[in-house]
Structure formats: C-alpha cells, structure tokens
Structure 1
Amino acid sequence: MSVTGNQTVIRLRLGLLTLLLFAIGQGQGCQVQSSGAAETKDWWETAQFYQIYPRSFKDSDGDGIGDLNGITSKLEYLKDLGVTAAWLSPIFASPMVDFGYDISDFFDIQPEYGTLDDFRALIKKAKELDLKIILDFVPNHSSDENEWFKKSVKREKGYEDYYVWHDGKVNAETGKREPPTNWLQYFRGTAWEWNEERQQYYLHQFAVQQPDLNYRNPLVVEQMKRVLRYWLNEGVAGFRCDALPPLFEVLPDADGQYPDETVTGATDDPDDRDYLTTTYIEDRPESIDMVYQWRTVLDDHKRIYGGDSSVLLIETYSAAWFTMQFYGNRTTEGAHLPFNFNLITVMDQKGLSAQTVQEAIDLWLKNMPAGRTPNWVLGNHDKRRAASRYGVDHIDGMNMLVMILPGASVTYQGEEIGMTDGEISWEDTVDPWGCNSNPDIYEMYTRDPERTPFQWTGGSNAGFTDGPTTWLPLAGDYETVNVETELAAEHSHLKIYKMLVALRKSSKTLQNGSTKYLALTEDIFVVRRSLANSPTIVGVINFGSETKTIDLREFDKNLSGNLQLLVRSLASTKSEGTTFSAQMLSVDPAEALVLTTQ
C-alpha cells in the first residue's frame, strides 16, 4: 500500500513551492558534479532494484496465485536482465484483506506463497546467482488477526497499549458515543473502529482490519526491530519500508483528546481522505527518528556479522522538505534511499513533457542533501503501469532516463517489456480501496489494473500458471506483449532494457560521471554524463509529436562533431553503431536515443 491518490497532489504543491526557489529557465540546464573517476561506491548506490509483486509474478503449483517457488524458478531471468536486487512485496502470513499488507505473523510466510523452507531455498538460489533479496517491511500496522492485537483487545499485560486506543467522545445532542476525531483512512471513511470487547475505538489509517501500531510504546519499537533482525539473519539484503507518513500521529492534549483535521476543499466526497488535511496524522518528526533507529539496526548487523551493507528504502510521497530528512543528518545515518516518486507525481499533475521531466529531476537533485544518493522510480504496485501513464511509445525513453541519471533505479515488474494496465471490472475488483467505493467510482481507487499477472508467454494464461484461472484477469495484450515474444524479436522493449542495464553496469561514466540535463525545448529533453578520460554518454528524448532537429552545442558547447548511437527506442528507424552530427541531430516523435562520443 502507499500514500497515494489525490493526496499526493496536495503534498506536491508544497514541494513545487520549494522548487520555485531553484527554478531554472530554458537554456540554463543543471550541472551535478561527480567526486571523480576513482570513487568507490557501495553496491546499492548504483543498483538496479526490481520490484516483484509475488501474487502476480509466477505461479508454481497451479492455484492461479504467484508464489515463492515461482519466483525462485525465474531468478535466472532477473540475472539475465542485469538486476542487482529483487524487492518482494509482502510475503508474510496474512488474511489477505490488503493482499499481504495486513500481517498476522511477521515471522512466518503466507501459506499460499510457500513455507520458510521455500523462502530459504529462494535466498540460497539468489546468492548462487549473486542476486540480493529485499523484503517489504510493513511497520505502521498489523492485521487484526495478529496475536498482538488479540492480546491488546483483552488488555493482556505488556500489550495494553500496543495499538492506538481511545474512548471516543459522547455527542452532547444525541448522547451517543462517537469516534474521537474526524480523521479519515486511506481506503475511504473514518479512521476509527469501535471494538465491542475492549469498549474502545482503535485507529486504522488503512482498512478496518489493519489497526495502527503504537510507536509511542517502547515495546512496539523493540518488537519491530526484532522483526528486522529476524529476517536479516535469514539472509535478506535489506528492506523497503512501507507507508512511513502515517507512522506517528500527534500527541493528545492534557485531557487525552486529539484535534480534528480541517476541510481542504480538494473534493466534495466526505469519505475521501483528501476531504481533510492530514496535519495531525502524517509526516510527524518522530517518524524520521524511527527510520534512523532502523538504520542503526542494519548497521549493527553488518558490524557484528560482516558481509555487504543491508539497504533501507523508504516509501513516502511527502513533500521534499520532509522526505529529504529520511536521508539522515550530519551526525546520524538515515535511509539509504528514500524513494523518489517525482517522475510519477509531477507527471500525474502536469502531464509528460521535457519541461515536466526537468521539474521532476530538479525537485529531487536540488533538494537532496550533499553526499547522498539519488534514485529514480517509474511505477509500483500502487500506481497505474508506467506504459499506461506515459504511453507505450515513451516507455523506452523513460527507461533510458532512469538508467542514465545518477544513482539507483527501481523497475516494477513488467516495465521492462512495456506491460500496460489490465481492464478490471467491478465484479472482478478485489483491492480494498476499490471495494470500499462503488461501481460508479471504483476505477478512481482500485489498484488491481497494475497488479495483473506477469506476461511470460503468449500461450495459456500468459505462462503465469499451469492452472485454469488467475487470481486477477490477465491484461488483454498478453499475446503480443510478453517475455517470450520480446526475446525472440530482433528489437523489443525487453532487449532495449537489457542493453541499458548492461551499459549502466559497464560504463564508468554512468557509474561515476557528472550529470547535466536540460529541457532543450518543450519536447526535447537531453541528459549528459561525463567523466575525465572516459566516453561521454548523452540521452536525447523527444516527448513531442513532431520531428525536431537540434544542435546539442546549445546544451553543451563541448558536444561537437559526431556521436555514435548505442541504444534506440523501439520505433526508431536509426541503427545502433551509426554516427550522427551533434550539430544537426534529427529526433523523430517519441524517439529516444542513447549516444556516445567516439
């Protein structure tokens, strides 16, 4: 799950106000210097992370649901792609109300995904292939079927305040007990639920079945650190931390009461979370400190047991002023990589163009603390697929962009083959966000379309399962958009992706070079990576509908003479290995090119 939806637009406005202070006009560009060719980077600083949604990746037993053995069987595919680390969305024991984000046992595997032995076999195979496995850490809440919650309901010793409980308040006019505040959950409706047995309300910022843990209780803090240590000892290489903004809520006043949020005016729907502000239930400073504590757990594990660094990736759609604090400060290390969603949020608000791409990059690089590592994300299991949002014609260009820019990149399964959203009817909808709405508006909320099964072949059930059905309907284009077809093709999204990853891993320039980028025109975006005594790499993307001839000297006076084409987008008619004049480079509509100095 994620802090997604229209709320991101409200937060983005805050970030864009910061951006205005750094705004650069057309023709100026932005220069980011490297620290030199001899720089040694840790594995995660230039890693290619690949997100697997286990339920939809590969089914090994014919039940129509992806599983751990299915993932293990496809690790060689990831190795062939050039992936550094695979991040698995939650695989822990769960009633599956929110498909794994409602965890009933943080120390065991969901049975329909497999067993602990299956997980250990996956880790063993991954290590043989020199692949790292990252797990999804879900700290904000548990399932209401978790033993911790059951004990808290009964007020058992040590668990009385494991969750956020409140008596509520009595309506003076009706005499009836009501929730303590007007706070709203992400999945529509009140964020408070009455528990008859305990005779109190509990806070749930997601589904009713996902009660919020109380991080003001030291026992909860230590318990979740225990979760991290447990899986580190099982051989994982780190964690992606889910939904950090709501981890803490404001402290109650002297009378034990919480404040109400105010109406935003962003929507007329009183059940939509965007109807109210989230001043008191998101982006609290305590969340920053908690991430610092988790980083210490990871660093301590390396100090004690040795081996490679374990990585901490943080999910937040918050404004830049808050997000950048997750990196750490002068005295304390924080997350290795707070996820950078700007290539999603800026485009969702303003559309795709060279100018908005520059805005998205500026918003991160101009706010990022010195000495930290950037990262670039095109999509995930909570957002419409990248090819559907940007357009299939632009998926190669966007993949080029995130591979050329400095730092780490994250690919959501299917982006490498240009997968698009599936068509999911109201009757087939299973996502709680969609199910909590109605047939007229569910498409605004459901995340099912981006979670359809991975398309391995054009055959029965897209090669995802040998069984008769799939847990979600397949996307309609699986017969032509799939791994088998694209591997066999002379030129395909998949082959372009593999070329990009291989270039990134082999190029000292892309590993350590300085960066310059610019929206040369409204449609043409250019990025250059350069390093002393190494070939310069240049990416050129046309986001427009007309052919443009450009002079790259307007972008960088040193780009004169000829450039050799290394990688081209699928529709490009140019040929790899051909040289082109930097002074008169013709770029067709939706064409994307990666070139190098000779």
Structure 2
Amino acid sequence: MAPHADPFLHKHVWWKEAVFYQIYPASFKDSNGDGWGDIPGIISKVDYIISLGVDVVWLSPMFESPQVDMGYDISDYEAVYAPYGTVEDVETLIKACHDHGMKIILDLVVNHTSDQHAWFKESRSSKDNPKRDWYFWKPARYDKDGNRLPPTNYRSYFAGGTWTWDEQTEEYYLHLYAKEQPDLNWENEHCRKAIYESAMRFWLNKGIDGFRVDTVNKYSKVIDFPDAPITDPNTFIQPAAQFWCNGPRIHEFIKEMNRDILSNYRTYDGQPVVTVGELSLTPDPPGVLRYVSAREKELDMVFQFDITHLGQGNGFQDKYDFAPWTLPEMKRIVEKWQTFIEGTDGWTTVFNENHDNGRSVSRFASDSPEWREASARMLAIWLMTQTGTVFLYQGQEIGMINAPNEWGIEEYKDVEATNFWNEAVRLSDNGNDADPTRKERIMNGLQIMARDHSRLPFQWDSTENAGFTTGKPWMRTHDLYKEINAEDQRKESHSVLSFYKRMLRLRKEQKDVFVYGTFELLDHDNVNTFIFKKHYQDRTAVIALNFTTAMQPTPTEALVDGMRLLTSSYQKTRPEVLQPFEGRVYINY
C-alpha cells in the first residue's frame, strides 16, 4: 500500500463483485399445485439459478403474514407462511445455495409489523400494557365542530392517511403503509432488542449471509409529530416524508444494529455478512453516502430509486400519474449515481427492476413484439457495464414484460394499485372538485408502473400456466408465456436468457473496468443514444446504446480508436450504424 493510502478506498470485497438474483416466492415456482409459489419450488430450480451465473439469492419475504402487502406485513418473524413451506424448507434452501457456492440473503422488514403480530396485539390491548410504547399511539384531535381528527395530516404510501382509530383503547396508531402495518417505535430500546433477536439473530443463526433491509431510513421519526404543510389544498392529508424519513436518530439506530448484531456474524465461507438498504426519498448524494461510507459502519450499499422513479408523477399523490421522460433525464440520473462514490469509501448498486416496479423492457425500451427481445438484450448491456453491485429480478433474464393493457383493474392484486385506483374513482366523481380525467390517467400509469407487473408468475415454459403451477395461479399468467419463457430460450444461443448469461460472464471476466471502473458520460443531450466510457487504470471501455427504433450513428472512429468490439446485442452488426435497440461494448487491451 502506498504511504498514506486510504484503506477504505477502492477496496475489493465479495459483495461488490457479486450479482444478486431476487426471488419473489409467491410467483417463482409452485411445487404442490395450490397456485402459490413456495420454497420447495425454489429448491427445485436451484440448478436454473446456478446456470445464470449469479452469486447471491435474495429471497423476498416468506415469513408468517396475513399477506395484506404480500408478506411485508409480518405477523411472526420466526415462522414461515404455510403456503410457502416451513422453516425447515428455508434451511434446506440455505444449504442448497451454500452447497452450490451461492449465498442467500433475506428481507429484513422492521419498520413495521402486521397488526396480527403478537407484539401489536399486546400493544393495542390496553394503554398500560408493557408493549404499548412499542408502536406509536396518539389521542384524537377535534375540530371546532367537535369532529374527531387524526393526530396529524400525513398521507401514507398507499393513499389515505397514516393514522387509524382503535376503538378498544380509543387512540390512533401510526402506519406509513397499509392500516394493517403499524409502525414499530424504534425509540423504545426494548422494542429494538426484540427486533434484533427475533427478526435478525433467528435467521443469522441458521446461516443466512445478510439482509436486504426494507424501508431502512424510516425507523426514526420526528416524534412530536407536527402537521405537514399544506401543499394540496384539496385534501386533508399531505405529503410528510420530512417527518419520518432520514429522521434524527436514524444513523444511531443503524450503527447499533450493525455493531450489536451484524458485525458478529460471517457468511458460510467466512466473509462479512452483507446489507443492502432500501433508501427511498433521499435524492442527495451526501445524504446517501452517510449510510454507505465504510467508516460509518452502517450499511454496505443501498438502493437509491431515481432510476425507477422515471415517469412517476410528482409526490405521493401523483405517483401513478405518468410523466413522460427523455433519455437525457435518464443519463443524468445514471451519471449522478455512478459518480457519487468516486473518491469516497462508499459503494453503489445497479438495478432497473424489482418487485415494486413495472418491467424494464416495458418502461425503458419497447415491449412491442418487434422490439422486445432487442430491447431486453440492450438493457442487459446497459446494466452489466455499470459500476457497482448488480441486482437482477426474476424474469428479467428472459425479458418478461408488463401485463397487457387489455387487462382490467380486476387483474391488479397489489394493495397500492387498488388503493390508488379507488382514490382515482372517488376523485373523478367528487362534485364540484371532480377530476374527470383522473381514472384514465391513473390507469395509464398503472399499466406502465404498477407493482403487479413484476409479480406475474415466472414463465418457465409453454405449457399451461407457463409451467409455474399445475393449479390455478394466484395471479394471472401473462398472455404471452408461449412466446416468452425460459425453456424455449434455454435452447437458443442468442435468446435473451443466453445473452444475459453471456453478459454476466463478461462482467466477471472484465470486472476491473465494469465493476470498479469510473464512469464518464458522453454526448449528454443526445435524445437517441446513450454513450459512456468506463476507465480502470489503463483499461477503457466504451458502451453505446441505441434507445430508439431507428438506426443511429455508431461511436466516432476517434472515440473507439485502438479498441475492439467486445460484444453487441445483435448477432450481426453493421459497421456504420447502431441498429434499433442495439447495444455495443468496445474495449482496449
């Protein structure tokens, strides 16, 4: 090491080079024909997961839950939802991953529990219960006419307010999400210790290799709960993230979690366990760096959501009021989060799909039959050549797309989608304040961005229900499963699946420049192509991406002088043009 070199900078660790593969258990593979994906189904597909070339499985919540929010409403951290299987099944999956050289992480959902959790049942049983303070309880307010009002005017994530009245003890409780998801009070030390033991140690002791940490920046609230300023005069409830996001004690809490629990565990092969936090509503790089700075000893990395927010309307209330975006907007987001770690001891993540968003082909390229495969391959290059840790979502590797626009609202199962739709129906027929176009606008937004799109059953083959189940699937299978499925693509050398496998291999072979390289955006304002450079010591790569259905110029000869074409998303390239939705990678040696 050079004199005075910073040991935190550019440190190569296992999770920086790893590729994570997210599995949504309800929709991955059903083993018993009940229409609901399960842990034995995942185990049956371990060979498939290995064949992709990924390093870590991220298993979305499989804990005991009433399933109001698809398992993010947990009623018992130490039990498994029966349709998914048993704790023993999860132990078998952990062993299967480890036996094949893969690690596995679970979701850590500890901002809130289900209202069916034993802790909340005790908390709501009486005002003097020892666990009363494990959640947030407040008395009612009253207006000048004596009408009961909630303690604050906050709007929740799922439309509606954040406070629900409890008849038994005649107080309101706080929930940032659905009313069945009361928020835990991290100010209470006994509550925190119970969280650590039940939600973390229980599973770390079974050999998991870390956590994806749900809603990680919401544990600390402004506990005097002031009203939010009125930014929408047409409604009582107002956006109020400033009072419960990145709160005054948040870094203290995460440091404690790391120091007291996570730092005492290792992966199955002796490495530090990994954490990746879900960091919403934090658009400033210095604010993000506080969470991921190695010196701070909080989180290893986080998901920052600017890229998946492209097209979302302004604010909570307009999330599904689609706002068209331009390629330069996307470029600047990528540049911002590719470059914010330069010269720091932090790290970043790379993703464009997860369980909370529409499919990337449908959102960022084209899902028309003519272009969807080319789009998926181009997006694979975009993803795999960026600096940071890559996260893939199930079905992304075969180019799964959004549900057809012909599907009605009845096919949408997600609590957020149905709440926003019901709100749109109400507002469209709201007397003198009616918004007659809102239903149409919100439905359009849901067709592009709804969480349901990512939750359609995995398309394994061309048999009935795409090979996901022999029964009736809990959610409708995509109409195009015979055209888009893993089994058919496994047999084709240039399928989306085969191309993803190839890009995963190239990323590992060229990890210096792709995983660790610095990012340089070129031609910022070009609305058709996205071209950037990656640099690592004397290594350079040029990545050129055509985001249109028209031919576009290739990078200039001067830009790629002395380089060779490492790969293209097309089997046959044309020297003078980028073909529609073509991606290319040039590299020097």
* TM-score, reference length from structure 2: 0.85
Report what 1:259 is aligned to. Answer: 226
Indicate conservation of the 8 Å contact 1:108/1:116, yes or no. Answer: yes
Q: 1:192-341, aligned counterparts within 5 Å?
A: 192-226=163-197, 227-252=199-224, 258-265=225-232, 270=235, 275-302=238-265, 307-321=270-284, 323-329=287-293, 331-341=295-305
Report what 1:417 is aligned to. Answer: 398
Indicate conservation of the 8 Å contact 1:347/1:356, yes or no. Answer: no
Report what 1:359 is aligned to. Answer: 332
Report what 2:491 is aligned to. Answer: 488
Give the secondary structure class of the aligned counterpart of 1:342.
Answer: coil
More off after superposition, 523-532 vs 148-157: 523-532
Q: Separation in 2 of the partners of 1:595 and 1:326? A: 35
Q: Separation in 2 of the partners of 1:269 and 1:246? A: 27
Alignment partner of 1:538 out of 528, 536, 542: 542
Give the secondary structure class of the aligned counterpart of 1:427.
Answer: helix
- Deviations for 1:249-308, whole angstroms, at most 9, x for unmatched residues? 2121xxxxx32112324xx8738x7x5343223231322332222222454323799822
Structure 2: which amino acid aligns with 1:213? L
Q: Separation in 1 of the partners of 2:255 and 2:558? A: 44
Indicate conservation of the 8 Å contact 1:381/1:447, yes or no. Answer: yes
Change in CA separation of 1:398 and 1:340 when aligned onto 2, cut-off 3 Å: farther
Indicate conservation of the 8 Å contact 2:277/2:301, yes or no. Answer: yes
Change in CA separation of 1:204 and 1:422 when aligned onto 2, cut-off 3 Å: same
Matched, 1:593 2:574: no
Indicate conservation of the 8 Å contact 1:205/1:246, yes or no. Answer: no
Question: What's the CA shift for 1:530?
Answer: 4.2
Report what 1:185 is aligned to. Answer: 156
Question: What's the CA shift for 1:103?
Answer: 0.5
Indicate conservation of the 8 Å contact 2:263/2:272, yes or no. Answer: no
Give the secondary structure class of the aligned counterpart of 2:401.
Answer: coil
Q: 1:377-456, aligned counterparts within 5 Å?
A: 377-390=351-364, 391=366, 392=372, 393-423=374-404, 424-436=407-419, 437-438=421-422, 440=425, 441=439, 443=443, 444=445, 446-456=450-460
Alignment partner of 1:522 out of 527, 531, 540: 527
Question: What's the CA shift for 1:46?
Answer: 1.6
Question: What's the CA shift for 1:158?
Answer: 2.8
Report what 1:255 is aligned to. Answer: none
Indicate conservation of the 8 Å contact 2:62/2:84, yes or no. Answer: yes
More off after superposition, 102-111 vs 156-165: 156-165
Give the secondary structure class of the aligned counterpart of 2:478.
Answer: coil
Matched, 1:99 2:70: yes
Q: Separation in 1 of the partners of 2:558 and 2:283? A: 31
Question: What's the CA shift for 1:157?
Answer: 4.5
Q: 1:121-200, aligned counterparts within 5 Å?
A: 121-155=92-126, 157-174=129-146, 176-200=147-171
Indicate conservation of the 8 Å contact 2:165/2:172, yes or no. Answer: yes
Q: Separation in 1 of the partners of 2:270 and 2:375? A: 39
Aligned residues with identical type, % of pairs: 31
Change in CA separation of 1:406 and 1:366 when aligned onto 2, cut-off 3 Å: closer
Indicate conservation of the 8 Å contact 2:141/2:151, yes or no. Answer: yes
Indicate conservation of the 8 Å contact 1:457/1:482, yes or no. Answer: yes
- Deviations for 1:212-241, whole angstroms, at most 9, x for unmatched residues? 111111111111211212111111111111
Change in CA separation of 1:329 and 1:343 when aligned onto 2, cut-off 3 Å: closer
Alignment partner of 1:466 out of 450, 467, 470: 470
More off after superposition, 500-509 vs 68-77: 500-509
Change in CA separation of 1:277 and 1:237 when aligned onto 2, cut-off 3 Å: same
Report what 1:26 is aligned to. Answer: none
Q: Separation in 1 of the partners of 2:496 and 2:268? A: 41
Give the secondary structure class of the aligned counterpart of 1:270.
Answer: coil
Structure 1: which amino acid aligns with 2:564? L
Matched, 1:70 2:41: yes
Give the secondary structure class of the aligned counterpart of 1:529.
Answer: strand
Indicate conservation of the 8 Å contact 1:358/1:517, yes or no. Answer: no
Where relative contact order (Cα < 8 A, 6+ residues apart) is larger, the structure is 1
Q: Separation in 2 of the partners of 1:347 and 1:568? A: 28
Q: Separation in 2 of the partners of 1:310 and 1:560? A: 43
Give the secondary structure class of the aligned counterpart of 2:58.
Answer: strand
Indicate conservation of the 8 Å contact 2:361/2:379, yes or no. Answer: no
Question: What's the CA shift for 1:586?
Answer: 2.4
- Deviations for 1:422-474, whole angstroms, at most 9, x for unmatched residues? 2453333321123334285474465222211000001111010122x100001
Structure 1: which amino acid aligns with 2:502? M
Structure 2: which amino acid aligns with 1:492? S
- List runs of 5+ in structure 2 lacking aligned partners: 314-322, 367-371, 426-438
